[in-house]
Amino acid sequence: MPLLAREIMTPSIKAVPQSWTMDRLARFLTDNEIAGSPVTDDSGDIIGIVTLKDIIEFRWNASRPETEAQLTEDEAREARRLRMVIYEGMGKLPVEVRDIMTPILLSVDEDTPVRKIAKTMMAEHVHRIFVTLDGKITGIITTYDLLKIIADRDMTQRCAKQD
């Protein structure tokens, strides 16, 4: 019998509201020792996902030089000065989760074989995927959940028999 999504999913999902600030999100992820979370709208529906990577990319993109190699020394100096002024101004405004989240939701049905889930996650380069039943999200599978399979001989054997 193939190993299915419902057998390895984490049923408790720690979602965050889209209106949270990026700083509050960072504290939440750190406090819960997780790297990402679903994002909910004002009515509680999941509308996207946000991860530590989103926070890092936002901070990185706000501070890195774009095309300074093509500028003269004076132009590059002025570009750095302007970027710092803009970044400092942005730092004073609260960046919200809705500003950095990914609005795409990948999901699989609870009856999806785990091997297919792993292939989907690899093809899409994602570390988490939602699990649904009748169109409603019932859980989440992360790369950590997939690693637990490797640690369990019986589950590993069940996956090896799937095609």
* pLDDT score at 101: 93
**What tokens were used for 136?**
């409603």
* pLDDT score at 121: 96
**What tokens were used for 34?**
């997780």
143 touches 35 (CB < 8 A): no
107-109 sheet: strands from edge to edge? 107-109, 128-133, 136-142
* pLDDT score at 137: 87
Domain ranges for the chain: 5-56+96-160
Model confidence, pTM:
0.71
- The better pLDDT of the pair 32, 88 is held by 32
* pLDDT score at 55: 87
**What are the tens digits of pLDDT across the range 105-148?**
899 999 999 999 999 999 999 999 999 998 888 999 999 999 99
- What CATH homologous superfamily does 5-56+96-160 map to? CBS-domain (3.10.580.10)
**What tokens were used for 28?**
């939440």
Alpha helices by DSSP H, listed for the chain, are: 5-8, 22-31, 52-63, 73-92, 97-100, 114-124, 143-151, 153-160
**What are the tens digits of pLDDT across the range 59-108?**
766 555 555 557 778 877 777 777 666 666 655 567 899 999 999 889 99
CA neighbor of 32 nearest in space, from 20, 15, 45, 46:
15
Alpha carbon distance 2, 162 (integer Å): 6
* pLDDT score at 89: 60
| 163 Cβ contact list (under 8 Å, min separation 6) | 115
- At what angle are helices 153-160 and 143-151 packed, to 10 degrees? 100
